Structure 1
């Protein structure tokens, strides 16, 4: 069972409302296998336990009282706009659709155009992140006064949630961590951090991309585990010129997104357990 560390909500002034970007794009000319199996045009509307993925994410994002405007960045908005929660929030004026671009980085820029900062970025396949999880991330990013931040989960927490799953982790001196596909941009200037993903991210699978994004010395530090995650982020901050922070989340499930049939099955199993307990 995943270790659910107790997170005490931030009780300080919460008048700052965060803009949420939900990335719901698709690869040009490629039909995702999960979408093909479900008979839909794009992965983000594939039902997980009967509810389209992006609908689940929108419900949790909308349920977080730290979040104001919601923006969905998509290449094919028609399917998404018809979903019940999405349609309701559009009618209320809280949610808008933004066009996806050719790649992830330019899609982020499209979503952030004219947006109010700070911005939280998440993905439409993050079906296990809850409203409380988003609040935790936002509170910790604000408390850290982060210019930019990334949500991470501890290796032991991820493996507790999915023992047969992820094999590779970001290894630092203070332990292994997995990316939760949730990010923070504290100001428009911090959008330059999105360029890190220009070559596709997935740094655990493709370490050379670290050198391209962060510089050769940070690749060496990362490869040999020289330093804690805070130290590595501090070095990266110097490269970009603003404070970048690792935000450690309390739940390993937040690092599990729906990438393929295996993670789809894991997500359905974990949701069934949660929803059964709630019932």
Structure 2
């Protein structure tokens, strides 16, 4: 497989400045990304899945406290092989993306250290569809019915479009260095369903109305946003609703661990 069909993976594993995440506090660790889920630290799981994807080349982890992460077995092995490096986490997610993108080869697959349910096939599907769409930037989405089929408790809020409800999968695509400006959409952390004012800032007021009323298609919204940024942004619909379930809090931790126990049995070993 040639480099033209591969992406560099950027794994966002930062922490909020001066705040100990409740899940980290309960697990007695310094940062959320190393909290074990069914026996394996979250970021270790994500690195295992990303590194097993045949469409991923180099891997970079963006973190504020890399030493704790670097000691994990899969991470340490990939560092030794020269495939994995670290970049410094900044005070917000956009500047952290910029930090992670310095000096690495595009295109970028961006994922998060709490995406514990995404498989190598899931990452491969996303990358393949981004290449096929010739996307300058992209976001992975899952259909409401697929998310609810994966687990009815896995997600309660959805983006509503004319063709149905969708959930964000925390998978993003930056096709080139010029397309890095698309990362500005994430400057306030996304969460557009919970914080609609963020849609106004990122996409414009008219698109907020369309979004809230469910009048437009997701393709139309991305087309409008593409005009604002000057390159093609694409919604990528993925086939598995599990990909939209990440670990944000105690509820989603319990949902994720329940699903992993079904897949792996009790207390998997790293």
* Number of residue equivalences: 267
1:263 alignment partner, one of 237, 243, 252? 252
Asked whether 1:26 is paired with 2:18, we answer no
Deviates more, 1:238-247 or 1:13-22: 13-22
Distance 1:119 1:135 in 2: 13
Could you say which residue in structure 2 is the equivalent of 1:217? 206
Distance 1:205 1:77 in 2: 31
By how many angstroms is 1:15 displaced? Answer: 4.5
By how many angstroms is 1:275 displaced? Answer: 1.5
Relative to structure 1, the CA distance from residue 94 to residue 235 in structure 2 (aligned partners, 3 Å threshold; closer, same or farther) is: same
Deviates more, 1:71-80 or 1:12-21: 12-21
Could you say which residue in structure 1 is the equivalent of 2:73? 84
Could you say which residue in structure 1 is the equivalent of 2:239? 250
Asked whether 1:58 is paired with 2:50, we answer no
Asked whether 1:152 is paired with 2:138, we answer no
Relative to structure 1, the CA distance from residue 94 to residue 14 in structure 2 (aligned partners, 3 Å threshold; closer, same or farther) is: closer
By how many angstroms is 1:61 displaced? Answer: 0.3
By how many angstroms is 1:221 displaced? Answer: 1.5
> Cα deviations across residues 119-156 of structure 1 (Å, max 9, x unaligned)?
00000000000001000000000000000000000001
Secondary structure of the corresponding residue to residue 237 of structure 1: helix
1:200 alignment partner, one of 184, 189, 194? 189
Distance 2:81 2:157 in 1: 42
Distance 1:256 1:248 in 2: 15
Could you say which residue in structure 2 is the equivalent of 1:97? 86
Distance 1:70 1:104 in 2: 18
CA contact (8 A) 2:43 2:114 kept: yes
Secondary structure of the corresponding residue to residue 178 of structure 1: strand
Could you say which residue in structure 2 is the equivalent of 1:128? 117
Distance 1:127 1:99 in 2: 22
Secondary structure of the corresponding residue to residue 21 of structure 1: strand
**Aligned ranges for residues 161-176 of structure 1 at < 5 Å?**
161-176=150-165
Unaligned 5+ runs, structure 2:
none
Distance 2:40 2:124 in 1: 22
How large is the RMSD of aligned CA atoms in angstroms? 1.5
By how many angstroms is 1:218 displaced? Answer: 1.2
Distance 1:159 1:16 in 2: 32
TM-score when normalising by structure 2: 0.96
CA contact (8 A) 2:154 2:245 kept: no
By how many angstroms is 1:13 displaced? Answer: 6.7
Distance 2:262 2:83 in 1: 31
Asked whether 1:47 is paired with 2:36, we answer yes
Secondary structure of the corresponding residue to residue 164 of structure 1: coil
Secondary structure of the corresponding residue to residue 179 of structure 1: strand
Unaligned 5+ runs, structure 1:
1-11
Distance 1:263 1:78 in 2: 26
Secondary structure of the corresponding residue to residue 219 of structure 1: helix
